[in-house]
Structure 1
């Protein structure tokens, strides 16, 4: 049981620290350089060389800049890789701004519904607090991006290019969140006052029109049709007039997103179980967020299989852990701070999730893996932070980092063993909105 610190207890601490023979040297080193720099493992470069036995050809990386749209970037990266291979256009890019626009509209609509459904719960209820915490946020899940593509299709980046606000989303996010909070409070009051469904729908329609106007001002209005124009790598010119975004996705990508599964390793909860996160679904009546939670060995195996089949992979991870952003290194032993200061701060993956240390903070794209005796040792990663980081935007990730900080991969269900495919047909267990996988 902890007690108040007395002067004698503090004196004992000082004396014990003074007895440490390397204490003064380490103090000078750490105070001058910081914990990370002082504990950096320079030998990481030798184990993170950029040669991979399995590698999917890809082109120039994209750049999400000052936004939280990685989940959209990563999905669109996997799609554009397919387009590039099929139509021989190396650096073709799809519009992230287009999906971002529609996510803002759909997510506002879902927010209004969720506020209605929880209107009779106290404002300090945990779910209500979650809903109002940051309703205009950027972050999202693979299924949210996939649902947007299924409903709205995709367009080339040249058709709906980036704007200042899509590259720098903080101001827009603040304005939208404030508006949604005010709208939410008004809806709660109307429900408590006994408003009927027609009155609520009329008000929500008006509110949603305002969100649409705000999004148009910030990002431009999305096209309903466009002329598809591109020049392939053989310098041949192609033009198809009056293409809808939905037809473009259907005719040029031949990808059924319902065939893909978010395979998760979240050992803070039972494995071999299908989970859902309905409070975060962004499209009413659209694609639902689900996770198939499995052992890390299964997750690794299906990821390797999909890369061997020539298809890149969306994956969710905690990118800021053990990261050298400039060099593009992800290695679980890159910074040995525990050894530097002589403490044992190790937490298991489950413990990190349980305590808030672990989270799915970023999405990137797996484009290669190095296999030694059929065992992965490192992975090639396409990030969405532009070409100034890593090797022209590409990172290299050790298998130890993969085991510790990768939580999700999205793979075609054909790579799952029959017993795991069978789990996809079982009822999903509902996760609370604040689960670490959110």
Structure 2
């Protein structure tokens, strides 16, 4: 009996020694491989794209899209994104392409922003064409849409923001009107003066950029912006769902607000991934607002990733709360998510396909490949329509 125990013990000791040896060899080989990998990594200049980064243009699911648009120097990505979203909706619903004029929306936004600036009392005359997804959606509901063929304003409108010369002249005009209105004490007289200046501003816009006819023809029928929108885009009668992505969420999903035009939710990043996948599976684009970081985007390939670039640990992007603390959370941009790729084993999101509005010469023929690390770090919100 003792001999059998000793024999079993010897076998157990021998197996243990072999296991320890195997682990040691594995550890040595792993360290050697890591050193080799580090050597490759260090050979790449800081900030450069890592050649060993595993990038593909493969996607689990993609949605057919209409043409790529180009906002040029207009800072109205939010309006171009909505225009692309609605074009994709129309294509899904009818099987036909339609070309909407995001330039018309930009023109209206510029005009509406100028009117709003006239009534300010804090001597702020600066104009900005940026806006949130909610504000731009409300602008579309208020003023309607036009097809590209009906917007006959000249190309000089897109030559600046919307053109440096026009912008500066209008800001000068706004400053003079603000001074004029500040001297009028009687509320009724002030309101009448304001209405006169709005009419004058309308005339100045027409003189600078040209007149825009109210009516236009589509498929042999006469429309204006409102009737065209009602007939071709009935989904705009519905509410949008705005999902504010929480980087330190306590709950996965929570409704925080509801109005006549929108439902607003707080959502964590994993729930956002599930939402994106669900929408794309239904053939619907997803409106994405995020921080665009040019240093983490490879323009020729369209790769958007943190891990794809050689960046020392202490130079990596800060978490959102720290970016906000040091005012590094800028560079807001709006695009459309039109596809996704899943890891075949874990079923987790690998990357999303982005339709941008910077023309076909940017990225992968106008499209970008946003990897999960970039999306989860810089996302602000996602928006859906029924």
TM (norm. structure 2) is: 0.78
| TM-fit CA distance, 1:268 | 8.3
Contact 1:384 1:393 in 2 (8 A): yes
Q: 2:207 aligns with which of 208, 217, 222?
A: 217
Query: What is the RMSD of the two structures over their aligned residues, measured on CA atoms?
Result: 3.0
Give the drift of 1:356. 1.2
Any gaps of 5 or more consecutive residues in structure 2?
A: 1-41
Other-structure match for 1:241: 221
The offset of 1:185, in angstroms, is 3.6
Other structure's SS at 1:43 match: coil
2:86 alignment partner, SS class: helix
Residue 93 of structure 1 is matched in structure 2 by 99
Larger Rg, first or second structure (1 or 2): 2
Contact 2:60 2:341 in 1 (8 A): yes
Q: How far is the alpha carbon of 1:380 from its aligned partner? A: 0.5
Paired residue secondary structure (1:39): coil
Between stretches 255-264 and 214-223, larger displacement belongs to: 214-223
1:65 aligns with 2:72: yes
The correspondence of residues 108-257 of structure 1 with structure 2, limited to 5 A, is: 108-113=114-119, 115=120, 119=121, 128=122, 132=124, 134=126, 136-161=127-152, 163-168=154-159, 169=162, 170-190=164-184, 195-228=185-218, 239-256=219-236
Question: How many residues are aligned here?
Answer: 337
Q: Give the aligned partner of residue 332 of structure 1.
A: 306
Q: Deviations over 1:384-434 (max 9, x none)?
A: 01000112101111011000111111124x7xxxxxxxxxxxxxxxxxxxx
Is residue 2:85 matched to residue 1:78? yes
Q: Find the partner of 1:259 among 239, 242, 246.
A: 239
Partner of 1:368: 339
SS at match of 2:142: helix
The Cα offsets for residues 166-215 of structure 1, whole Å up to 9 and x where unpaired, read as: 3222332222233223323433343xxxx122111122112212322232
Distance 1:71 1:287, change over 3 A: farther
- How far 1:88 sits from its partner (Å)? 3.0
SS in 1 for 2:235: coil
Aligned to 1:395: 368
Q: Distance in 2 between matches of 1:357 and 1:275?
A: 28
State the distance in 2 between where 1:409 and 1:154 align: 22
Distance 1:409 1:226, change over 3 A: same
CA distance in 2, matches of 1:108, 1:289: 25
Q: Does structure 1 conserve the Cα–Cα contact (< 8 Å) formed by 2:151 and 2:212?
A: yes
Q: Is the partner of 2:103 in helix, strand or coil?
A: helix
Q: Secondary structure at the match of 2:384?
A: strand
Q: CA deviation at 1:360?
A: 5.3
In the superposition, relative to structure 1, how do residues 223 and 304 fare at CA in structure 2: closer, same or farther (>3 Å)?
Answer: farther
User: What are the equivalent positions in structure 2 for 1:297-376 lying under 5 Å apart?
Assistant: 297-321=270-294, 322-339=296-313, 343=314, 346-359=317-330, 361-372=332-343, 373-376=346-349
- 1:88-147 Cα offsets, whole Å, 9 max, x none, are 334x3211122122222322333334x2xxx4xxxxxxxx47xx262x222112122212
In the other structure, the counterpart of 2:351 is 378
SS state at 2:307 partner: coil
Counterpart-to-counterpart distance in 2, 1:304 and 1:291: 19
Matched residue SS, 1:205: helix
Deviation of residue 368 (structure 1)? 0.6
Check the 8 A contact 1:97/1:219 in 2, yes or no.
no
Unaligned runs of 5+ in 1: 1-28, 31-35, 120-127, 229-238, 277-285, 415-438
Task: Provide, for residues 278-322 of structure 1, a one-character-per-residue CA deviation record: whole Å limited to 9, x for no partner.
Answer: xxxxxxxx9889853332222332222211111112211112341
Does the 8 Å contact 2:50/2:310 carry over to 1?
Answer: no
